[in-house]
Structure 1
Amino acid sequence: MLFPKFTARRCINSNEWITQMGMNVLVVGGGGREHALVWKITQSPLVGTVYCAPGNAGIAQLATCVEISVDDLRAMKQFAIEKKIELVVIGPEVPLVMGMADEMQEAGMKVFGPNKAAAAIEGSKTLMKELCQRYKVPTAEYRTFTDAEAAKAYVAGEGAPIVVKTSGLAAGKGAIVCLTVPQAIEAIDRIMVKREFGHAGDEVVIEEFLEGEEASFLALVDGKTILPLAGSQDHKAVGEGDTGPNTGGMGAYSPAALLDDDEMVRRVMDQVMIPIVQGMAADGMPYKGVLYAGLMIHNGRIKTLEFNARFGDPECQPLLMRMKSDIMPLLLACADGTLHEHEIEWDSRTAMCVVMAAGGYPNMYEKGLPITGLEEAAELTDCMVFHAGTRRHNGHVLTDGGRILGVTGLGEGAIGARINAYEAVRKIHWKDAYYRRDIGYRAVEREEAALDEDEG
């Protein structure tokens, strides 16, 4: 048995009991990540009623959605108190950085997600860099600036390629890879002068450009114990071949070949995860929740690009499709500090998520367009359509954001997962729908090369 089998009357700790009807759970957020979390949480026998704020059209089929904005901490806390919520699962980074976990804990609720102090590892890239430097976590060389002209002078001296990042939260779009000095100057202007990212651009981090292949390493953390999740890899760029501006994510798959190796996992744990978790605890900001390390791996060398204080979106979707274990004991263990008692069982197959976005994303796009084909896609086996930017109106599901759906398929290897995911994608339509047609291309190329070698 991989973890203690809880029943409806099993004691969680010496003071609190799960009621016979199951726990009341509140999931905060309304994207594809939150749909995946709600989908997985509702499968647990520990759960009674699940609420989601604000939710979306897909989540509404599984949970009770509540029209509360994720940044309205007072209203969210009051709702949780009224509904006697026992576990709060915070999906997005904004409420975490604002301190929602602190508010809920003060009201006596268990929370899956870091407190305000610990969530600053994502809220401030400057703090993240300082932590890496202090605890010898490998990362790119960098400088930080609050003055645009000083930043431009530094770039002119360093040359290109170079990376310009907002220090604050920018919805995954604040890292700009600049191949020339003029592009870097333009990026600094966009961030610090034109203020395209608002207060996130009060400070910029300018980094050396790193070559290699990116991978996402996510782990559950209870303040001390670190339990790695399966490896995954995402596609941030809007264009095929990983070209064009960064987005919140255009697709992801798991497992990832770069991290599908015990030795590499050990090295990431030893060089990145253990030092940062121990360092944060030593600094008085113990981390609880899921910690996401964005890595660049080149010729076996690991560099840390970023830390996120929550599940990646869309990495969450393929990860939870592959997770065979009940997620609730894991979420509770992170809150209670008992993660050392648990392991995770994974489906051996590959899961691949293809994000279907609004035409024009990540720039201007139209909302309110009717979506067709969802019922046909739902009939396919080994496939799940996770909603992100959707809403229901007069019986119809409409687009309501930039990233609309995360169509996720399970299959044998990346090739099988890709076939299943894109079969579902082709059944879904709305005006100007956009998606990349090459999600998982590196993994597929590796598998095809291995097949060619076997046939040869």
Structure 2
Amino acid sequence: MRVLIVGNGGREHALAWTLLQSPQVQQVVCVPGNGGTATLERCSNLALSPDDFEGIARFALVHNISMVVVGSEVPLSQGITDALTQQNLAVFGPTREGAQIESSKAWAKALMQEARVPTANAEVFTTAEAAKTYVRQQATPIVIKADGLAAGKGVTVAPTVAAAEAAIDLCFDGQFGAAGYQVVVEECLLGQEVSILAVTDGLTIRPLLPAQDHKRIGEGDTGENTGGMGAYAPAAIVTPALMNRIQAEILEPTITALRDRNIDYRGVLYAGLMITPAGDPKVIEFNCRFGDPEAQAILPLLVTPLEKLLAACTQQKLEQFPPLEWKPGAAACVVVASEGYPGNFKKAFPITGIEQAETTGAIVFHAGTQRKQQVLVSDGGRVLGVTAMGNDFEQAIAQAYAAIAQIQFEGMYYRRDIGYRVRTVSSPQN
């Protein structure tokens, strides 16, 4: 089997690495890939843009690609699956219509209300003044969300009315481009956040191990939102009984609602949940792809061949697929970022110590890296995701930090408290 992965982040490196654990996968091609995927055995990068659907289709057809796995939400929202399936290519990832579950928070909120999926109360606004008028009548803290895709940075948990109004102005003043021209204002849920990544063929849906992300840039969950600064799996707060509730109250109704809208959804349905102090799961948001960095913590624990699982989804054969098998223990991923992220940051700094880090048993997934004249350099805000596994969470996180101690580049930054919420009962919504 030959697989083509669309994307260039840590998630895509983790997908390629996991697929290549199987002897059934002869080759993986990443479009465009990064400095890490460039050096994986049986893996190569292809210098095409993720929105070059025609070029990707032509390459896939000429080189007998068995399956295309779309890692990023942006090409999904642009309709890559629609374009490639028209060329009779097997694609793991929802259609443009299905990807609206992430690309439009207003659309997703309407779907949840229609399906009676538990979520925060919310209103949608197309003008700043109307949104501000509503906010002045609500309790704080309150959550302001840019409606469209904003790379994980379009959400503000406003502690005061003034902060909420400032967040609304940022949206309508173009801080997030077209993503902010419509805003969702919703109540602030309290509890512990959990990420449930589930795979589906549009008929059947199977959750993977629950994970917990750390979205804020600062330790103790302070500072700005990011795309994610670290994750661990499995999240112990999700007991088997709670997972059954999530399946029955959230995953199944959502897939049914999509199907009722004649949306053929084959890919990942990623539910970002808040587990309230009462133990009830509520949806903060949905995503239409693997989480990043959650994938870097979940996929290394997967024993079931990933290519077989994804192929079952593309072929609508998930109902007959055997139960998923997992390694015992836990995994933790710590993100190493560029100084200044999620704001302005410098790049092109040489990175050293990755080989030494991997001698500790950790896996270093590349996110924002590039190879220039055989030198690995930083090329993004989130640069690396360092993942380690252990018999328990404490061992996994200790090994991840031991590996990070071997890595160096100018301005490198990482949170030193990834996993602190494993012992915490509640935290504010990110």
Q: Which residue does 1:229 correspond to in 2?
A: 208
Q: Which residue does 2:235 correspond to in 1?
A: 256
Quick check: 1:353–1:408 contact (8 Å CA) kept in 2?
A: yes
Paired amino acid for 2:156: I
Quick check: 2:53–2:84 contact (8 Å CA) kept in 1?
A: no
Q: CA deviation at 1:81?
A: 2.5
Q: CA deviation at 1:398?
A: 0.1
Q: Which residue does 1:60 correspond to in 2?
A: 38
Q: Which residue does 1:332 correspond to in 2?
A: 311
Return the alpha-carbon distance in structure 2 between the equivalents of residues 418 and 444 of structure 1.
14
Q: Which residue does 1:241 correspond to in 2?
A: 220
Matched residue of 2:56: which SS?
helix
Match of 2:258 among 265, 280, 297: 280
Return the alpha-carbon distance in structure 1 between the equivalents of residues 178 and 186 of structure 2.
20
Return the alpha-carbon distance in structure 1 between the equivalents of residues 411 and 90 of structure 2.
42
Q: Which residue does 1:311 correspond to in 2?
A: 290
Q: Which residue does 1:95 correspond to in 2?
A: 75
Q: CA deviation at 1:286?
A: 2.8
Return the alpha-carbon distance in structure 1 between the equivalents of residues 168 and 423 of structure 2.
37
Matched residue of 1:212: which SS?
strand
Over aligned residue pairs, what C-alpha RMSD do you find? Answer: 1.1
Return the alpha-carbon distance in structure 2 between the equivalents of residues 346 and 208 of structure 1.
36
Q: CA deviation at 1:303?
A: 1.0
Q: Deviations over 1:32-82 (max 9, x none)?
A: 000000001112222222110100111011211011122222322222223
Match of 2:335 among 350, 355, 376: 355
Q: Deviations over 1:296-331 (max 9, x none)?
A: 011212110000000000000110111011111101
Quick check: 1:214–1:295 contact (8 Å CA) kept in 2?
A: yes
Q: CA deviation at 1:258?
A: 1.5
Answer yes or no: is 1:394 the counterpart of 2:373: yes
Paired amino acid for 2:82: D
Q: CA deviation at 1:445?
A: 6.7
Matched residue of 2:97: which SS?
helix
Return the alpha-carbon distance in structure 1 between the equivalents of residues 332 and 423 of structure 2.
11
Quick check: 1:414–1:444 contact (8 Å CA) kept in 2?
A: no
- Structure 1 segments, 4+ long, off by >4 Å, are none
The answer for unaligned runs of 5 or more in structure 1 is 1-22, 447-456
Matched residue of 2:16: which SS?
helix
Q: CA deviation at 1:420?
A: 0.6
Return the alpha-carbon distance in structure 2 between the equivalents of residues 244 and 73 of structure 1.
37
Identity of aligned residues (%): 48
Q: Deviations over 1:167-221 (max 9, x none)?
A: 100111111100000100100110112x010000111000011111100011110
TM-score in terms of structure 1 length: 0.91
TM-score in terms of structure 2 length: 0.96
Answer yes or no: is 1:403 the counterpart of 2:382: yes
Quick check: 1:415–1:444 contact (8 Å CA) kept in 2?
A: no
Greater shift after overlay, 40-49 or 246-255? 40-49
Q: Which residue does 2:8 correspond to in 1?
A: 30
Between 1 and 2, higher relative CO (CA 8 Å, sep ≥ 6) is seen in: 2
Paired amino acid for 2:356: E
